[in-house]
Amino acid sequence: MRVLIADDHRLIIEGVKLKLRELDTDVEFVEAETVAQLRDKLAQKPAPDVALIDMAMPGADGVEHIKEAVAALRESDTDDGASRMRPVIVLSGTEDPSSIRHVLDLGVQGYIPKSSPPDVILNAVRLVVGGGVYVPPEAMKAASAGGVPTFSLSNNKDGLSTKERLATVLTDRQIDVLKLLAKGRPNKLIARELGISEGTVKIHLAAIFRALHVRNRLEALVAAQHLGD
């Protein structure tokens, strides 16, 4: 497994490397301490299997480097031209829910505060590599505390399963979209996996947000945590 770590603090890089060696017996690390170095590493082949990137590092222009990384790791590098999902995880010193919402909308699969214990970082990366999405519990609580979602997926007093309750407000295709959203798929990949256009995905997402009384992808993820396979 090839892991890219981009951060301007050497202690962070070394600490993350130390813990992530537990991911596999043959983990290979690629490092970058500036945005310029990050771009250089992203252009090299083979591409990393997962990238952990600091949101505020030398040369950063807002979150443009995060956008570039997400796009770069979706590009095809296989002989048959097939694209492969390589997740991007944001490392950050802030736990501000609005910042988390913003980068999730960019297509990242995880957001790990630098204050997280080593085991949390390891498990978060394992979750993301396995196809999941990691959002700090504090952000989930903040989203829920904001009064969303008002459609409670966990209340089963009516005797219905979660899927049955969802079926009362969502179509089967919208449930499929929600499942892929919960796995961190951006609109482009949701469209590809379901064989529909990105425009149709956006229409479905707008309908999902209205049905679940949520305002964005993070709040939808809070709802989607209760969605079984």
Measure the CA–CA gap between 6 and 52, rounded to whole angstroms: 6
pLDDT digits (tens, 9 = 90+) for 111-161: 999 888 899 899 889 888 887 788 887 665 555 555 444 344 444 444 555
pLDDT score recorded for residue 213: 73
Residue 14 has pLDDT above 90, yes or no: yes
| Mean pLDDT within 41-62 | 93
pLDDT exceeds 60 at position 229? no
pTM of the predicted protein model:
0.65
